[in-house]
């Protein structure tokens, strides 16, 4: 009389990836037959099972059927349920044994399956200690994603948003034991967010982790200044007002971080106007519109802590005032028979001696060389030029013209005629 034949058929996991969740009610369908031989069989007697947890060593045994001799059962069908909490393992082993009333015994092949009743646990590790202004970084950043999961599904990858459309890379997954890690490196200038969740191979869903928006900005801001008036005399003197336009190129701009420093010799240092921007280009103006010696200096640190290159301080003078020039000692359109000693006084904040010129023309004599006729005396911010007395040998009708041009190019001319 042949021994019984045992068939074990596992139920299908609902997620379809070979691992059973608790919701799948993992188990096996059992079919046992006592073969017919010469039109007879002895009948099934006992059917038992053993479940082993190959991970923890837990064992469960039980009897599926005790069949009386008088029942003379030739076949039996049943089911084994596996407790997921007891057999959380990728090495669940099931063996079924059967005997008939002729003392024949049969042992099934060991059936194996994976049972996972635990959801993946996701954690993020992101160093914020070097953040500027809460969320700005001037260096590469990394996010380490760790998933605590025995049956990790590598098809789930992080969801990254980047305003620049890229600038990051993902290392892929690396598994050690029941922990899987992946690293995202953010190396390009952009605003980023990251979201990650997953399902394991049994269909258990993880928690969702989010990395709130942050910014990588490794670009150094640039500062430039242009003026509407570049007509300088004597190096840095201007006879018209100047407007400076400051331009800062920076993506993550904050006007409050720009330091514009001005000084004025008259104590009325001008301030910077409001900032306006288009894209990464931001501008503001400073008006230098009164007589003074000025300096302009600018520094800027962006939101991520990047320092703009040191700006070379501008130094210049605005001089809108013409020199003061007076001719005294003789009246215009006067006829003189006595002492004739014209005196020319020149004064200007930005006086320059070489800017003072004289011209003396006689109606009959023409141009007169005055070099031996005058004496010069220094005065505050200027000079005094005194003619020696015109002698009897210098009878004529004269035109005396004095001109003073200061360092900025402002010009004053005075002219008198006398005889």
Query: CA 106: distance to chain centroid?
Result: 71
Whether 175 shows a pLDDT value over 90: the answer reads yes
Task: Find the mean pLDDT for residues 143-164.
Answer: 97
Least confident span in 138-152, 161-175, 379-393: 379-393
pLDDT at 399: 96
Q: Check pLDDT > 90 for residue 252.
A: yes
What is the rounded CA–CA span in Å between residue 345 and residue 332?
16
C-alpha dihedral (272, 276, 281, 285), degrees to nearest 10: -30
Whether the Cβ atoms of residue 298 and residue 258 lie closer than 8 Å to each other: yes
What string of DSSP letters covers 135-181? TEESS-EEEEEEEE-TT--TT---EEEETTS--EEE---EEETTEEE
Q: What is the pLDDT of residues 9-45, one digit of tens each?
A: 988 899 999 999 999 999 999 999 999 998 899 999 9
Query: Does position 8 have pLDDT exceeding 90, yes or no?
Result: yes
Q: What is the pTM of this model?
A: 0.82
Confidence of residue 339 (pLDDT cuts 50, 70, 90): confident
Do 223 and 298 form a contact (C-beta atoms < 8 A)? Answer: yes
Q: What SS3 state is found at 70?
A: helix
pLDDT band at 139 (very low <50, low <70, confident <90, very high): very high
pLDDT confidence tier of residue 379, bands split at 50, 70 and 90 = very high
Among the ranges given (4-8, 11-15, 176-180, 238-242), the one the predictor scored with the smallest mean pLDDT: 11-15
335: Cβ–Cβ under 8 A, 6 or more apart, which residues? Answer: 418, 419
For residue 103, give the 3-state DSSP assignment: coil
Q: Work out whether the CA dihedral 303, 304, 309, 310 comes out positive or negative.
A: positive
Q: Which two tokens stand for residue 22?
A: 């608790």
Would you tell me how many other CB atoms lie within 10 Å of the CB of residue 134? 10
Nearest to 319 by CA among 295, 289, 345: 289
């Amino acid at each position: 009389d042949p021994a019984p034949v045992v068939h074990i058929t596992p139920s299908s996991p609902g997620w379809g990836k070979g691992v059973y969740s608790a919701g799948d009610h993992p188990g096996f369908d059992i079919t046992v037959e006592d073969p017919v031989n010469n039109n007879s069989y002895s009948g099934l007697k006992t059917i038992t099972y053993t479940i082993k947890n190959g991970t923890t060593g837990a064992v469960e045994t039980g009897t599926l059927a005790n069949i009386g001799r008088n029942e003379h059962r030739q076949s039996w069908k049943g089911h084994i349920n596996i407790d997921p909490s007891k057999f959380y393992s990728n090495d669940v082993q099931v063996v079924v044994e059967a005997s008939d009333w002729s003392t024949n015994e049969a042992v099934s092949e060991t059936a194996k399956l994976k049972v996972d009743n635990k959801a993946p646990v996701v954690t993020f590790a992101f160093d914020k200690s070097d953040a500027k202004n809460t969320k700005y970084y001037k260096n590469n950043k990394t996010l380490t994603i760790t998933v605590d999961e025995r049956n990790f599904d590598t098809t789930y990858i992080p969801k990254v948003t980047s305003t620049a459309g890229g600038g990051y890379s993902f290392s892929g997954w690396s598994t050690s034991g029941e922990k899987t890690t992946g690293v995202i490196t953010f190396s390009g200038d952009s605003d980023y967010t990251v979201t990650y969740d997953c399902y394991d191979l049994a269909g258990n869903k993880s928690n969702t982790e989010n990395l709130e928006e942050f910014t990588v900005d490794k670009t150094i801001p640039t500062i430039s200044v242009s003026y509407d008036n570049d007509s300088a005399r004597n190096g840095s003197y201007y006879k018209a007002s100047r407007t400076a336009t400051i331009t800062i190129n920076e993506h993550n701009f904050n006007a409050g971080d720009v330091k514009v420093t001005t000084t004025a010799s008259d104590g009325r240092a001008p301030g910077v106007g409001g900032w306006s921007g288009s894209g990464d280009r931001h501008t503001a103006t400073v008006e230098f519109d009164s007589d003074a010696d000025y300096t302009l200096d600018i520094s800027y640190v962006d939101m991520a802590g990047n320092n703009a290159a040191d700006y070379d301080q501008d130094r210049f003078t605005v001089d809108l005032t013409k020199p003061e020039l007076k001719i005294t000692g003789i009246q215009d359109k006067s006829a003189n028979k006595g002492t004739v000693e014209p005196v020319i006084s020149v004064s200007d904040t930005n006086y320059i001696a070489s800017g003072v010129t004289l011209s003396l023309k006689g109606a009959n004599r023409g141009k007169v060389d005055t070099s031996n006729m005058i004496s010069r005396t220094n005065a505050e911010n200027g000079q005094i030029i005194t003619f020696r007395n015109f002698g009897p040998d210098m009878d004529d009708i004269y035109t005396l013209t004095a001109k003073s041009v200061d360092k900025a190019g402002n010009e004053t001319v005075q002219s008198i005629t006398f005889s």
